[in-house]
Structure 1
Amino acid sequence: MIEHEKEIAFVHRKFAEHYARTALEVPEKIEQREWGFGGWDKKIEARHFRFPDAKSLRGYLAVNAPLYCSYSVAYYKEADARPIEKKGWLGAEVVFDLDADHLDLPCIRRHGKGWVCDECLDAVKAQTLRLIEDFLVPDFGVKEEEMKVNFSGNRGYHVHVLSEDMKRLSAYGRREMMDYVSGTGLDFDKFFGKEGAKLVGPKPSDAGWAGKVARYAMERDLTGILPRNAVTKPERLEAFRRGVERGNWDVVKIAKKVEVWRAFVDSLGLKLGGEVDKQVTGDVTKLIRAPDTLHGETALLAKRMKLGGLEKFDPLKDAVAFGSKNEIEIEIQASPAVRFGDETFGPFKNERRKLPERVALYLICKKSAKLA
């Protein structure tokens, strides 16, 4: 018998039921997209699919119930042609993939890398908002109506840029965007200098990264950077901020000031992952999770939202696809505490429990539980 055979069949059945009753919103120009699907062991097991319209895609999902559903950021003349060189590339969305795993948060040491908590999800949401509000809109001129954002279904968010100018960007141009927002190659010496012994630097009114450095210094908690008496005394902190407004970074004296502010500058880029994850933005043929489809590792939705709704979005409430009335009996190997809505379940260790369907599916998809 195949390991997890019962669980795989159960998850497929539940996913099929969901897709049969759900009106899925599909991406623009669906007929020009390549689609790929995955199962229990691999997120992309089959690709080079094409669907002429929303109805045909919905029918496929309801019948086959893949655990992962992805589509190309690219638009093609012949999306189902193979090899990829024969598809006829027409352009591609620019997509940013933000994941809590990239942030090296202390909570990961408590619950493990494969799990999430409110601290993880709040931190990656803050990074997503910063990408949009601090970079895409002011620096790249992207309009709100040219962006779409969705929860990834697991530990982060995807930001899709759909402007016509961006769609024609080369892989090199996309990588340049990635390097810019992640702060790759930021040079302290371009921002700071000395007038005698005084350290002078950027002002908040400066353009680009120079202004960001100044604004972040004025807005952030500088505990551990400024002397303790400067952080705890409002008048000294205000004097520091007024100095930065004029480009004077020496109003509050700091030991080893050049080293301190150099480290500060180095810490400012968005945390967008290692080399493999950065390829999501640079890859003009990448398959990315289809918004509003189910994620096979969590049974949560890759929920799409309006930009204005991102700040209040709660993935463990708003992206839950399954109910709480039906209970499923499962055998749980191990799990940290997990929250769904206003309820918290666990932690669990070698336990047999009846849990709401949404929680049981989550733990089964995490491969931490089996059907009893």
Structure 2
Amino acid sequence: MNERTREYLRGRFGDHYRQVSIEPPPRANEREWGYIPFSEGGTRMVRHRAWIDLVGGADDLADALADDSVRPQHVYYSAGSYDDPGANSMGRKGWRGSDLVFDLDADHLPGVDPEAATYAEMLATCKEALLRLLDILAGDFGFTDTDVVFSGGRGYHVHVRRADVQSLDRSARGEIATYVRGSEVEFEDLVRTEAVGGAAGRTSPAEKRTLPPEGGWSGRLHERLEAFVDELVAMDEDAALERLRAFDNVGEKKAAGALRAMRENREAIAAGNVDVHPAFLSVTRTLLTEALAEAGAPIDEPVTTDINRLIRLPGSLHGGSGLAVTPLDRDELADFDPLDDAVPDTFRHNDIAVEVTEPGVVELLGDTFSMEAGEHRVTEARGVFLMTRGRAEKAPE
């Protein structure tokens, strides 16, 4: 980013903050504040700032960010609360407690190739992971009062601010993160095994395996199992057998046995019995092992475990995209398009000249188009997007 570009963005970010109002997080005066200014290199963090250091006598947080001495490229506040948030070392701050924060990054999701997927495709996949995360937090932990935020860049943040999570240490937060990710859940951990009495002529009891249909990971996977069974039972027999033979180590005989068990034992399966037939148990184990890899929320675990983490300020601008860090209600998520809805109104109305240095596809404002290298006149939102992402420089007007 050259000097002309840097000064243009610094000025326009300041203009934006003068036009909006930003609501600070709860207990703002107990949190550490930090920001990255529009300086050469763009990575120097100014941190260990108390609320009064940042806001001073400004009437609104946005007014403070618009001040000539600030006008930041990125703005952060701490998940933690402190006795002295402005102290210049963590040991001197006096930790009181921390919000529980979850971070999903689109380019770090399993199965996403940042080199092949478009920005819009990655963000759409990230929203699916977000919905899984919210379901797990609500259904398994009772965390229904969460704050959801589009990060302005690669994904979403979820904040849990309940009083009973504030004092959790790193270890406890790590256990929650591991559970949410589902990375250490095994099929055999979820199945209950009980002796039910041996068959005639046998001295040892038989075993019955049950996948509890309610609660946590077992209930979540039981839903997937039932949906799979319903799907196959409704199929033509040849199609159903072909579907079963697609599983590893399932031949024609095992497929036929599993399908027959599904059709004859639907009520038992609904009750959680996965031992209705050896072939059905084998298919179930394979199916749910695969489902486990897809059902978790692939959060960035270090963000959740870090009690001193700095996180992006909702309402601020992301200096790597020019998009707004956007708080969202749960009922807004389905229709939320980050590459349109998070575009600040400040940048929607003017055209500007830019010199494209990295040509390629641009996805923004509900449109996808390709830009060649060289000078172009574009909607300011697209120009800001290109400049903040390092794909263009500001051209003279």
**What's the TM-score, normalizing by structure 1?**
0.84
Task: Quote the Cα distance in structure 2 between the aligned partners of 1:363 and 1:251.
Answer: 59
2:140 equivalent to 1:142? no
Residue aligning to 1:89: 95
- Which is further off, 326-335 or 174-183? 326-335
Q: 1:259 to 1:9 in 2, by over 3 A?
A: same
Deviation at 1:243, TM superposition (A): 5.6
Residue aligning to 1:217: 225
**1:18 maps to which of 7, 11, 16:** 16
Q: 1:85 to 1:251 in 2, by over 3 A?
A: same
Residue aligning to 2:131: 129
Task: Quote the Cα distance in structure 2 between the aligned partners of 1:222 and 1:360.
Answer: 51
- Which is further off, 20-29 or 330-339? 330-339
Residue aligning to 1:167: 166
Task: Quote the Cα distance in structure 2 between the aligned partners of 1:46 and 1:301.
Answer: 21
The alignment-based identity, stated in percent, is 29
| Matched-pair contact (CA < 8 Å) for 1:19–1:62 | yes
Task: Quote the Cα distance in structure 2 between the aligned partners of 1:45 and 1:229.
Answer: 59
Task: Quote the Cα distance in structure 2 between the aligned partners of 1:57 and 1:335.
Answer: 37
Q: 1:212 to 1:39 in 2, by over 3 A?
A: same
Deviation at 1:202, TM superposition (A): 1.3
- Which is further off, 308-317 or 213-222? 213-222
Amino acid at match of 2:365: G
Residue aligning to 1:204: 213
Deviation at 1:84, TM superposition (A): 1.2
Deviation at 1:337, TM superposition (A): 2.6
Task: Quote the Cα distance in structure 2 between the aligned partners of 1:220 and 1:92.
Answer: 41
Task: Quote the Cα distance in structure 2 between the aligned partners of 1:231 and 1:15.
Answer: 60
**2:352 maps to which of 328, 338, 355:** 328
**What's the TM-score, normalizing by structure 2?**
0.79
Residue aligning to 2:108: 102
Task: Quote the Cα distance in structure 2 between the aligned partners of 1:96 and 1:106.
Answer: 19
Residue aligning to 1:50: 50
Q: 1:222 to 1:11 in 2, by over 3 A?
A: farther
Amino acid at match of 2:45: E
Task: Quote the Cα distance in structure 1 between the aligned partners of 2:268 and 2:165.
Answer: 38
Pick the structure with greater CA Rg. 2
Q: 1:5 to 1:99 in 2, by over 3 A?
A: same
Q: 1:358 to 1:260 in 2, by over 3 A?
A: same
| Matched-pair contact (CA < 8 Å) for 1:152–1:303 | yes
| Matched-pair contact (CA < 8 Å) for 2:192–2:211 | no
Residue aligning to 1:230: 240
Task: Quote the Cα distance in structure 2 between the aligned partners of 1:256 and 1:141.
Answer: 33
Task: Quote the Cα distance in structure 2 between the aligned partners of 1:299 and 1:140.
Answer: 35
Alignment deviations for residues 221-242 of structure 1 (CA, whole Å, 9 cap, x no partner): 999xx99822999xx7985975
Deviation at 1:126, TM superposition (A): 1.7
Task: Quote the Cα distance in structure 1 between the aligned partners of 2:217 and 2:352.
Answer: 52
Deviation at 1:60, TM superposition (A): 2.9
Task: Quote the Cα distance in structure 2 between the aligned partners of 1:370 and 1:320.
Answer: 19
| Matched-pair contact (CA < 8 Å) for 2:339–2:365 | yes
Deviation at 1:39, TM superposition (A): 3.7
| Matched-pair contact (CA < 8 Å) for 1:39–1:296 | no
Residue aligning to 1:338: 362
| Matched-pair contact (CA < 8 Å) for 1:332–1:370 | yes
Residue aligning to 2:77: 71
Q: 1:263 to 1:306 in 2, by over 3 A?
A: closer
Alignment deviations for residues 131-182 of structure 1 (CA, whole Å, 9 cap, x no partner): 112x2112112232xx111100012111000100011111111111100100
Task: Quote the Cα distance in structure 2 between the aligned partners of 1:251 and 1:352.
Answer: 68
Root-mean-square deviation (Å)? 3.3
Structure 2, unaligned runs of 5 or more: 200-205, 244-258
- Match of 1:137, SS? helix
Structure 1, unaligned runs of 5 or more: none
- What aligned pairs does 1:273-288 form with structure 2 within 5 A after superposition? 277-288=300-311
Residue aligning to 1:246: 271
| Matched-pair contact (CA < 8 Å) for 1:129–1:311 | no
Deviation at 1:364, TM superposition (A): 0.3
Alignment deviations for residues 89-133 of structure 1 (CA, whole Å, 9 cap, x no partner): 11110000011112244563335xxx611x222221121122112
Question: How many residues were matched structurally?
Answer: 354
Residue aligning to 1:37: 35
Task: Quote the Cα distance in structure 2 between the aligned partners of 1:241 and 1:125.
Answer: 34
- Match of 2:119, SS? coil
Deviation at 1:324, TM superposition (A): 3.0
Amino acid at match of 2:114: I
Task: Quote the Cα distance in structure 2 between the aligned partners of 1:127 and 1:307.
Answer: 14
| Matched-pair contact (CA < 8 Å) for 2:31–2:78 | yes
Task: Quote the Cα distance in structure 1 between the aligned partners of 2:131 and 2:86.
Answer: 35
Q: 1:328 to 1:213 in 2, by over 3 A?
A: same
Residue aligning to 1:190: 189
Task: Quote the Cα distance in structure 2 between the aligned partners of 1:198 and 1:341.
Answer: 59
